[in-house]
Structure formats: C-alpha cells, structure tokens
C-alpha cells in the first residue's frame, strides 16, 4: 500500500473558471496565468486542457515557457518578468514568446538584439505597486524607442494592481487614473486586471485580462459578499486516516503538546504533513473534512502527519477519506487559519504528493 497523500486536479473546473473569467470581461482577450507550474497544479496538463480556447498563456520566465512549448502548446506565451539576459530575446522571438519590458536595460537589450523574427512586447508601467515598471512620465520616451525597433511586432501597455482585492480601498482607482493619464492618446492595447481586478473592478478590464488565482477556483477577494462564488476548486488535496485513538481528558497531542483534550476525545491521524505542503502554522480549529464531514485540526502539524478531532464521527476508522482542501474545505479557509494565502498553499504542495488529473 502506498502513502495516500494525493492532489486530485479537476481540469474541467479549470476550464469552467477560465470561461467564467472571460464572461466577466466579454470584450477582452485573456492571458491565462500558469506561472509557477500552474500555481502548483501542473502547467502543461492545464494548458493542454484549455488548448485553443486560451487566447494566450502567461508564465514568469523562459524556462517555464519552454516547458510548455516542448510539450506541444502552441498558443502565444507571455514572459511576465521579461528576459533576464539579452541572449533570451532570440529564443523568445523564435518560440513566439511575448516579453514584458519593465526597465531600461531591457530596452537596450531589445534594441541591440537581432532576432530572426519579430516579437510582441508588453511595456510595464509602474502605477503604484513599485516593484517592476517604468514611471508614468518615462513612458513616452520608452515607447518611442520601442516603436522604432524593427523586430518589435505588437505592443501592449500594462500595469499591475497592488490592492485590487481590497474593494473598500481607493488605491486601485488611483492606479487606474495614473495608468489612464500615462497612456492617454495611445491607441495600443492595454492590460491591467489580475483576478481581483477582473472580479471587482470592471473598469479595469480593458483589452487583455490576466486571470491567475481565479482559474484555480480561489477567489482573491478578502471579504466576499454572501453570494456564493461561481468559481470551482481545481485542486482537492486528500489523504486518509492511518490511525484512530481514544484519548482521555487531559491528554495532549503531538509536538509541543499544543492541544490538550478537554474531554475524552476520538483523534484521527492523517497522512499529511508540512513535508507534503500542508502549512505547519495551521492553528487548532483549522477545518478538515473526514468522510465528507467537516471537523477540525487539533495539535501541531508535523512533517508527515496531522491530527484531527473525530468526536462527531464515532465510526471513523483507518483508511477513511480526508480532504485538506477542495470543495468541502476551501483553500482560502486553510490559508486564513495559517496566516497565508491560497496562492502559497497551492504552490507549496511538494513532489511527495501524487497528482491525479480528472
Ligand atoms: C501573477 C500575475 C497575475 C495573476 O494574478 P492573480 O492575482 O493570480 O490573478 C497577473 N498579472 C501579473 C503581472 C502577474 O504577475
């Protein structure tokens, strides 16, 4: 018998989430963001499922894009951090990778390059994130240099939001206003919306949306309204009970004796730990589903195991099914209980977990 920690990836949910993102911005094209191995879900598998339906894909770097090309993915691919070395430009043109240009050294590399074909360029403007991009008042000079480069095909103007998930903040509107002022008078295509922008800021949809986390079924909006999200979870992280004990009141569980039983407690041990990518910081009470019924984590998460309260499941036994996140327990809930975000949970599932695609 093999260890039972698995991630079941529902590829039809991924496709449905992509269609939902497109339906929110029906006039825009979409860059399906599958950087970091498709947020830990398997970029090649997901890209294949979306196939021709994707307008284009986005990844962080050449290595990630090459993996898709070598697996036969033919859609345009955009490198969100652009190139790290000038030598990457020839390859990008050859492989139909669009490149983000966010700094002057990349403009110089592009001017000096002699690629055998033209390539698309996404010029990044910093409207307040203060990570990558040109200041708004640098745009006109950068743009005239890039327009003069013969091997540049299409140009898209882009920016990135820092707080689009905070619907009560005016930060996104201020970023949009700065963007609009910077690109005024240009007829080039524009792209600003990540998932939160797509869901919460219709004025940000523009010509290209860039959905990431929403494709994986996780809403980026911190405080969703009462309406249930139409997003479908893609990853179901699952395992099984490998031991069940009855502990007397006053007994403690696991390292550091973090949890002490208040009464006689039935405790289940699950084959899932931080070495599988389950967050070690998850607090007592973090939801876990056993046999389809929600219960709670009790005791510190260890490397290969975690422990759950089976008080309400007197018949639960070794081999029974456990869901750590998926349709019964959302990754956002687990993230909130462990001081992180679903993005980090998904990208940290380790190779010890077997991935199954359905
Ligand atoms: C990762 C990324 C996205 C997607 O963001 P989500 O919050 O996952 O939707 C969009 N644009 C850029 C530039 C990114 O790096």
CA 195 to ligand 1: nearest atom: 9
Q: Output the domain CATH number for residue 102.
A: 3.20.20.10
Return d(Cα 330, Cα 333) in angstroms, integer: 5
**Same domain? 164 vs 266:** no
CA 198 to ligand 1: nearest atom: 9
**Same domain? 75 vs 166:** yes
Q: Is residue 5 in a domain?
A: no
Residue 252 Cα, ligand 1 centroid: separation in angstroms? 43
Residue 210 Cα, ligand 1 centroid: separation in angstroms? 6
Instruction: Give the residue among 220, 242, 237, 238 at the shortest CA–CA distance from 229.
Output: 220
Return d(Cα 161, Cα 19) in angstroms, integer: 22
β-bridge pairing 265-270 and 287-290? unpaired
Residue 211 Cα, ligand 1 centroid: separation in angstroms? 7
> Which of 14, 18, 34, 80 has the most ligand 1 atoms within 8 A of CB, as the residue to mutate?
80
**Same domain? 154 vs 246:** no
Q: What are the catalytic residues?
A: 35, 255
CA 197 to ligand 1: nearest atom: 9
Q: Is residue 6 in a domain?
A: no
Closest-CA residue, ligand 1 atom 15, reads 80
Domain final residue pick, 218, 249, 267: 218
Q: Is 141 helix (H, G, I), strand (E, B) or coil?
A: helix
**Same domain? 176 vs 316:** no
Which regions of the chain does DSSP assign to beta strands (E)?
6-9, 29-33, 56-59, 77-79, 97-101, 119-124, 152-158, 189-191, 208-209, 235-247, 252-253, 259-260, 265-270, 287-290, 293-296, 306-309, 321-325, 354-357
**Same domain? 180 vs 272:** no
Residue 33 Cα, ligand 1 centroid: separation in angstroms? 7
Structure tokens at 13: 């949910």
User: How many Cα atoms occupy the beta-carbon half-sphere of 156 within 13 Å?
Assistant: 24
Phi and psi of 145, rounded to 5°? -65, -45
Q: Is residue 223 in a domain?
A: no
**Same domain? 61 vs 185:** yes
Q: Is residue 140 in a domain?
A: yes
> Which of 212, 331, 335, 345 has the most ligand 1 atoms within 8 A of CB, as the residue to mutate?
212
Closest-CA residue, ligand 1 atom 10, reads 194
Residue 168 Cα, ligand 1 centroid: separation in angstroms? 20
**Same domain? 196 vs 283:** no
Domain final residue pick, 161, 188, 218: 218
**Same domain? 140 vs 257:** no
Contact 163, 128 (CB under 8 A): no
Domain range spanning residue 325?
235-357
**Which residues fall within 8 angstroms of residue 208, CB to CB, at 6 or more apart?**
28, 29, 30, 31, 55, 156, 158, 189, 190, 191
Return d(Cα 80, Cα 122) in angstroms, integer: 9
Domain final residue pick, 218, 251, 279: 218
Helix (H) or strand (E) holding 21: helix 11-24
Pocket of ligand 1 (CB under 6 A): 33, 35, 80, 160, 194-195, 210-213, 220
Q: Output the domain CATH number for residue 248.
A: 2.40.37.10
> Which of 60, 210, 214 has the most ligand 1 atoms within 8 A of CB, as the residue to mutate?
210
**Same domain? 280 vs 188:** no
- The number of residues in the chain equals 358
pLDDT in tens, 128-155: 999 999 999 999 999 999 999 999 999 9
Helix (H) or strand (E) holding 107: helix 104-112
Return d(Cα 233, Cα 17) in angstroms, integer: 9
**Same domain? 70 vs 201:** yes
The tally of domains found in the chain comes to: 2
Q: Is residue 251 in a domain?
A: yes
Residue 237 Cα, ligand 1 centroid: separation in angstroms? 23
Classify residue 340 by its DSSP letter.
S
CA 33 to ligand 1: nearest atom: 4
Contact 164, 197 (CB under 8 A): yes
Return d(Cα 323, Cα 239) in angstroms, integer: 6
Residue 195 Cα, ligand 1 centroid: separation in angstroms? 7
Q: Is residue 226 in a domain?
A: no
**Same domain? 247 vs 184:** no
Q: Is residue 118 in a domain?
A: yes
**Residue-by-residue pLDDT tens, the chain, 358 positions:** 589 999 999 999 999 999 999 999 999 999 999 999 999 999 999 999 999 999 999 999 999 999 999 999 999 999 999 999 999 999 999 999 999 999 999 999 999 999 999 999 999 999 999 999 999 999 999 999 999 999 999 999 999 999 999 999 999 999 999 999 999 999 999 999 999 999 999 999 999 999 999 999 999 986 655 567 899 999 999 999 999 999 999 999 999 999 999 999 999 999 999 999 999 999 999 999 999 999 999 999 999 999 999 999 999 999 999 999 999 999 999 999 999 999 999 999 999 999 999 9
**Same domain? 183 vs 319:** no
CA 213 to ligand 1: nearest atom: 8
pTM of structure: 0.97
> Which of 21, 28, 41, 58 has the most ligand 1 atoms within 8 A of CB, as the residue to mutate?
58
Q: Is residue 228 in a domain?
A: no
Q: Is 8 helix (H, G, I), strand (E, B) or coil?
A: strand
Closest-CA residue, ligand 1 atom 4, reads 212
């Amino acid at each position: 018998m093999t260890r039972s920690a698995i991630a079941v990836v529902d590829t039809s949910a991924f496709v449905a989430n992509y269609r939902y993102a497109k339906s929110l911005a029906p006039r825009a094209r979409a860059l399906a963001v599958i950087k970091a191995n498709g947020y830990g879900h398997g970029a090649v598998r997901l890209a294949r499922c979306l196939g021709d339906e994707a307008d284009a894909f986005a990844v962080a770097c050449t290595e990630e894009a090459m993996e898709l090309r070598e697996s036969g993915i033919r859609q345009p691919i955009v490198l969100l951090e652009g190139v790290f070395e000038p030598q990457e430009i020839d390859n990008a043109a050859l492989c139909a990778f669009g490149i983000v240009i966010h700094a002057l050294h990349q403009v110089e590399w592009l001017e000096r390059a002699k690629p055998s074909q033209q390539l698309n360029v996404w010029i990044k403007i910093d409207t307040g994130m203060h990570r990558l991009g040109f200041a708004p008042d640098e745009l006109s000079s950068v743009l005239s240099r890039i327009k003069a480069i013969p091997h540049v095909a299409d140009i898209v103007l882009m920016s990135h939001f820092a707080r689009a998930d905070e619907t009560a903040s005016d930060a996104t509107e201020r970023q949009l206003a700065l963007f609009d002022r910077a690109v005024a008078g240009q007829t080039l295509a524009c792209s600003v919306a990540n998932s939160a922008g797509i869901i919460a800021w219709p004025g940000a949809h523009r010509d290209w949306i860039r959905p990431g986390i929403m494709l994986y079924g996780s809403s980026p909006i911190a405080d969703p309204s009462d309406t249930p999200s139409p997003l479908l979870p893609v990853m179901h992280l699952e395992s099984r009970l490998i031991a069940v004990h009855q502990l007397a009141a006053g007994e403690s569980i696991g390292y550091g004796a973090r949890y002490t039983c208040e009464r006689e407690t039935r405790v289940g041990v699950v084959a899932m730990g931080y070495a599988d990518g389950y967050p070690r910081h998850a607090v007592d009470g973090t939801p876990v589903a056993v046999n389809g019924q929600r219960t709670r984590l009790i005791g510190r998460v260890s490397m290969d195991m975690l422990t759950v309260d089976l008080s309400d499941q007197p018949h639960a036994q070794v081999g029974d099914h456990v869901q750590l996140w998926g349709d019964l327990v959302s990754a956002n809930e687990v993230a909130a209980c462990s001081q992180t975000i679903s993005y980090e949970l998904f990208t940290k599932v380790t190779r010890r977990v077997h991935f199954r695609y359905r």
